[in-house]
Structure 1
Amino acid sequence: MGGRERRWRVRERRWFPAMPGRERRWFPAMPGREHRWFLAVLGVGAFLRLVAMLGYRPAIWFPDSYTYVVTALKPRPDLVRPAGYSMLLRLLEPLHSFAAVALVQHLLGLLAGVLVYLTARRLGAPGWAATAAPVPVLLDAYQIQLEHLLVSDVLFTALVLGAVCLAVSPRLEGRSRAAVAAAAGIGLLLAAATLTRTVGLPLIVLFAVWLLYRARGRVLAAGVMLAAAMLPVLGYGAWFYATYERTGIVGANGVFLYSKTMTFADCAVMNPPADVAVLCDPRPPEQRPPAQEYIWSADSPLVKLPGITFTEESDTLAGRFASLAIWSQPLDYAGSVLSELARTFRWDRPVYPDAEIYGYYRFPAQPPPPPGRYPATVGAEFAHRYEQGPIATVIVEPYAGLLRIYQDMIRLPGTVLLVILMAPPVLAGVRRWGGRRARRERRAGEGVRRWRAGGDGAEGTAGPAAWVMPWATAVALLVMPPAVAQFDYRYVLPAVPVACLALALAIRRASFKNIP
């Protein structure tokens, strides 16, 4: 071998520090070698999404989809849902293709997997943990199917996940311009999430508390974040007020909370005034339909009232009933929330709330029927204008059949999600119990100094409790729907990537060496 060739080969090698307990070794510099397993998972996820695009053209419709399209083509605040997702549809409207919308949603799903992986690696998670963390969001069949539905949940997931990744970033430390810009970015992402799904609004408070904790009492980052989050929300609220002369960003909070309380409300216990008593259901709770039927069914006491369901009068009356039910029966309310939340963690996936809604979350063997309700039929007309052609879902074999088989086999069981949620605090407890050296450092004040310096002393970390923020976000996303409305399978999926990120970060900080 000539000297020039030997020198060239030496230049093509890089020095990688040895892992603890291992000798140093030379590795050839191969692009992507360090990330090859994640890239393989990402490639499989991209392939599955390509099959979905080929098998179900242009996309799969959900009853809410038509309302989003109407708002996109006729911009106006909707009484039931904020207009964030509709604005995405309007942004893509020049393409005149719902297939393009589905493609963007699939790309957002892949982006979510990339964000989880990169954040976990950046904050020091082991390679295997960082690679495993995005597997559910990349390979879960129900996640892929949700991305092919014309609904707001995928956009909401990406926005919340982006905010979480910024919130645990080391660049938030100190008072630099980068920290201020990161705080503003968090606020804008949370504002967009809130204007996509109202469940994002309580997250603004959660993130503000987290930023105050990270800054150890400094309010600059939290103040910038709150301003960036609330200004767009208040602006949308002004638009909503100008349209309906009502305060808020939607006009259905009381209605949805009323439907929630009808799972347990007992008017004999509540003793409501006469004007509120018209919303009572004499049937015992165990004989009542699912909560959503009290919003949409013609037999609902609320729907039977004069006018549309979401008038200010109806929403206020429903809110009064719900408040009285919760105050009169707090234990029944808590039991209802817990029983609905428990559905999240079942190993199986029983039909709920009914066969129709459950069927929308599976890759269908037959095209969904055309809309039957009046608002949806109007939305279908707008959808034809948007697409400038037919909008019916066309099922193409063998691609669709492969996805149906895949969905029967590959999903994240609820019990596994429960383990993912329980593991971070358990690992943190193990570390606190076994980390004698860490306790000595905290007593000496070194732990606080390291936090303010940017972590635990290693480059690219964000403090020993970095897992807390994604974990708390996941818990909030899972608890809020059963608390204010009802459990729904698609409401679970936005919590999965942040829960998996929390586990990867908790593994980063776990220490088992000093356990007696």
Structure 2
Amino acid sequence: MAASGWITVVRRRLRPRAAAAVAPASPDDPAATTTGPRPASAPGGKIHELRAGGGLRATAGHLAARARPHRVFLLLLAVGAALRAVAMLGYRPALWFPDSYTYVVTAMRPRPDLVRPAGYSMFLRLLEPFHGFMVVTAVQHLIGLAVGVLLYVTVLRAGGPRWAAALATVPALLDAYQIQLEHLLVSDSLFALLVLGGVVAASRPPTWRSACAAGLLLAAATLTRTAGLPLIGLVTCWLLARAWTSRRGARRRPVVLAGLALVVALVPVGAYAGWFAATYHRFGIVGSNGVFLYSRTMAFADCAVMRPPADLAVLCDPTPPARRPPSQEYIWSATSPVVALPGITFTESTDRLAGRFASLAIRSQPFDYAASVLGEVARTFVWGRPVYPDREIYGYYQFPAESPPPPGRYPATVGAEFAARYERGPIGTRLVEPFAGVMRAYQDVARLPGTVLLLVMLAPPVVVAVRRRRGGRTGTAWTLPWLGSLALLAIPAATAQFDYRYVLPAVPLACLAAALVARGGEPRRGRPAGSANFE
């Protein structure tokens, strides 16, 4: 064979080996997992790096494609996070409310409090190893963002449109008063997330997991604020109603799950009540229900109409109801008849006496009581934000223009000492410009007016009524969140008085109800299998 022929044969035999040496290893090639990565200097190393870079770009492109449909919500979430960062930079480490000091005392010296359950104090206790109230406010701001995320995901999983899901998150993410409330050392932000989570869990298709989650979350909400206790009954009734509307042969399981949710909720609440009884020798989760209800009835109570017995007559106020101060003054003011009684205000005997007076007032003047409650609820829906109940309390809900002074009342001064131990340093609020000024300016323009909240509350029943009149199908997904928001607005007005910070935990539920009614009667096509149908 000629020399040229031998050369041709050799080239043909060597060509596949050379190609294999240059070609990068396939991810499915077993040899690729045993020989290890090829050094960059080896033949094909540059090609391997290029393929790796291409993989990162492909992953980034995939994530961008997944996020693109949610770009409006992601923008709202980013703006909300930025505003909260500005608040943390402007007001360090936190803003204080009169209740804050009591919460800190209970956190540092765990025992049930007579006025407030200890759930929020235990939250503070969990964060105590960090020795910084700035950590507390950071977590509370994350809670505020989590409320927005939970709203958005819940609406989408229920088949709602993205525009409605994003719109429902706007008050939770961007309302300046919501951000300011998260910066206050009070229980309302934590309470709002727990209530929202419990309602969402109860709205999911009934399983033992969803029933247990709803019960535990609402129990935690109750031990954070007593306004959560009626919601346990509301959710139980909702689950039983769903059982009633089920097919006759399929009712047993929903009834069992409703009982499971109730038991899971009442076990921790009952355990806390046992702790309270061991401490104060009376059963309950607080020891002030009678005094607070007494203060509520003093807005209308007329002893000439009530004709109380002698032991209750000491709690009468001769001042005409129209000239009396806001209800809360009958709890804390030294001139209040109940405060003037011997001993502390929240002794068992005083609380029972005040409760009896309140019960008599409601039975004697039921229409006056109803009108007073409706009047307090109506304060929620005014367009402006008038000063109420007084200038001092109203001022706590504003980003201040100067550092607040230290507390002056005795219980708060004791709490301030415990707070300094918690912080391991001074606890005064330090203002840092221009960040503080940015938040003050933002609070002047960015809030949810009460009248808009009223429209949000009216939207679900009105839309459902219109659809039914036209013969269209309507779902029931909106019902439980709507009832929950209504309860959160009515409970304080019926048992204490209206307060601006009591409104904010009800807003996410109202927005959720309005967003869920936007989806119509049928789930959106293409919803992932197993997602919640809320029916």
Instruction: Give me the TM-score of the superposition, normalised by structure 2.
Output: 0.84
Which residue number in structure 2 is paired with residue 142 of structure 1? 177
Deviations 1:394-425 (A, max 9, x none): 01100000000000000000000000000001
Q: Tell me the distance in 1 between the aligned counterparts of 2:394 and 2:144.
A: 21
- 1:375 maps to amino acid: P
| Aligned position for 1:336 | 372
Matched, 1:265 2:276: no
State the partner residue of 1:278.
314
1:284 aligned partner, one-letter code: P
- 1:467 pairs with one of 454, 475, 478: 478
Report deviation, 1:29. Answer: 7.0
Partner of 1:459: none
The aligned runs of 1:213-362 (5 Å cut-off) are: 213-215=241-243, 216=246, 217=251, 218-362=254-398
- Kindly indicate whether the alpha-carbon contact (under 8 Å) linking 2:475 and 2:521 is maintained by their aligned counterparts in 1: no
Q: Do structure 1's residue 497 and structure 2's residue 533 form an aligned pair? A: no
- Give 2:38's aligned residue: none
Offset at 1:433?
1.5
State which of 446, 455, 473 in structure 2 corresponds to 1:419. 455
Q: Aligned residue for 1:201?
A: 229
What does the per-residue CA deviation read over 1:310-364, in whole Å, with 9 as the maximum and x for residues that have no partner? 0001100000100000000000000000011100000000000000000000000
Which residue number corresponds to residue 29 of structure 2? none
Residue 114 (structure 2) aligned to one of 54, 70, 79 = 79
Which moved further from structure 2: 28-37 or 494-503? 28-37
Find out whether 1:101 has 2:136 as its counterpart: yes
Residue 367 of structure 1 and its aligned partner are, at CA, apart by: 1.4
Distance 2:357 2:290 in 1: 9
The separation in 1 between residues aligned to 2:471 and 2:406, in whole angstroms, is 61
Residue 214 (structure 1) shift: 2.4
Query: What CA distance in whole angstroms lies between the structure 1 residues aligned with 2:140 and 2:162?
Result: 27
**1:214 to 1:52, Cα distance in 2 relative to 1, 3 A:** same
2:216 corresponds to which of 183, 188, 197? 188
Deviation, structure 1 residue 46: 0.2
Find the counterpart in structure 1 of residue 443 from structure 2.
Answer: 407
What's 2:66 paired with?
Answer: 31
Per-residue deviation, 1:167? 1.7
Aligned residues of 2:221 and 2:228 also touching (Cα < 8 A): yes
Residue 90 of structure 2 is matched in structure 1 by: 55
Match of 2:519, SS state, is helix
Report the Cα distance in structure 1 between the residues aligned to 2:279 and 2:91, rounded to whole angstroms.
Answer: 37
Alpha-carbon distance between aligned partners in 2 of 1:286 and 1:379, rounded to the nearest angstrom? 36
1:225 is aligned with what amino acid?
A
Shift of 1:435: 2.9
Partner in structure 2 of residue 91 of structure 1: 126
Please point out which of 497, 502, 513 is paired with 1:486.
497
* Number of positions where the alignment pairs a residue of Structure 1 with one of Structure 2: 458
1:111 aligns with 2:146: yes
TM-aligned CA deviation for residue 294 of structure 1: 0.3
* 2:272 matches 1:212: no
CA distance in 1, matches of 2:118, 2:101: 13
Match of 2:520 in 1: 509
Output the amino acid matched with 1:209: C
* Residues 1:29 and 1:485: Cα distance change in structure 2 (over 3 Å): closer
Partner of 1:75, secondary structure, is: coil
Contact map agreement 1:347 1:415 (CA 8 A) in 2: yes
Code of the residue aligned with 1:127 in structure 2: it is: R
Distance in 2 (alpha carbons) for counterparts of 1:223 and 1:487: 33
Q: 1:427 touches 1:510 (CA, 8 Å); kept in 2?
A: no
C-alpha separation in 2, matches of 1:337 and 1:298: 25
Q: Does 1:68 align with 2:103?
A: yes
Aligned to 2:65, what secondary structure does the other structure show? coil
Rounded Cα–Cα distance in structure 1 between residues aligned with 2:257 and 2:468: 28
Preserved CA contact (<8 Å) 2:382 2:450: yes
| Partners of 1:345 and 1:413 within 8 A in 2 | yes
Task: For 1:252 and 1:369, locate their aligned partners in 2 and report how far apart those are by CA, in whole Å.
Answer: 29
Residues 430 and 510 in structure 1, CA contact (< 8 A), matched pair in contact too: no
Matched-pair identity in %: 67
2:14 matched residue in structure 1? none
Contact 1:187 1:226 in 2 (8 A): yes
C-alpha distance in structure 2 between counterparts of 1:309 and 1:29, whole Å: 60
**Residue of structure 1 in register with 2:16 after alignment:** none
Q: Which secondary structure does the structure 2 equivalent of 1:104 belong to?
A: helix
Separation of aligned partners in 1, 2:519 and 2:408? 52
Q: 3-state SS of the aligned residue for 2:171?
A: helix
**What is the letter of the counterpart of residue 485 of structure 1?**
A
SS at match of 1:242: helix
SS in 2 for 1:339: helix
Matched residue type, 1:222: A
Q: Is the 8 A contact 1:428 1:510 kept in 2?
A: no
> Which letter does structure 1 place at the counterpart of 2:99?
D
Counterpart AA for 1:508:
R
Distance in 2 (CA, whole Å) between partners of 1:435 and 1:57 is 56
Aligned-pair CA distance for 1:378: 0.4
1:379 and 2:415 correspond: yes
Q: CA deviation at 1:181?
A: 1.1
Q: Is 1:120 the counterpart of 2:118 in the alignment?
A: no
5+ residue gaps, structure 2: 1-50, 523-535
Contact 1:431/1:510 (<8 A) preserved: no
Q: Which amino acid aligns with 2:490?
A: V
CA distance in structure 2 between the partners assigned to 1:115 and 1:165 by the alignment: 9
CA distance in 1, matches of 2:76, 2:330: 43
Alignment partner, residue 448 of structure 1 = none
**DSSP 3-state at the match of 2:457:** helix
Aligned partners of 2:90 and 2:436 also within 8 Å = yes
Superposed CA RMSD in Å reads 1.7
State the distance in 1 between where 2:120 and 2:176 align. 22
Of 369-378 and 409-418, more deviation after overlay is shown by: 369-378
Aligned partners of 1:401 and 1:130: how far apart in 2?
Answer: 31
Task: Write the distance in 2 (CA, Å) between the matches of 1:492 and 1:66.
Answer: 22
Q: Which of 150, 153, 157 is residue 192 of structure 2 equivalent to?
A: 157
The corresponding residue for 1:20 is: none
Q: How does 1:441-480 map to 2 (within 5 A)?
A: 464-480=475-491
CA distance in 1, matches of 2:466, 2:356: 46
Separation of aligned partners in 2, 1:28 and 1:41: 18
Return 5+ residue gaps in structure 1 as ranges: 14-26, 173-178, 439-462, 512-516
Secondary structure of residue in 1 paired with 2:98: coil
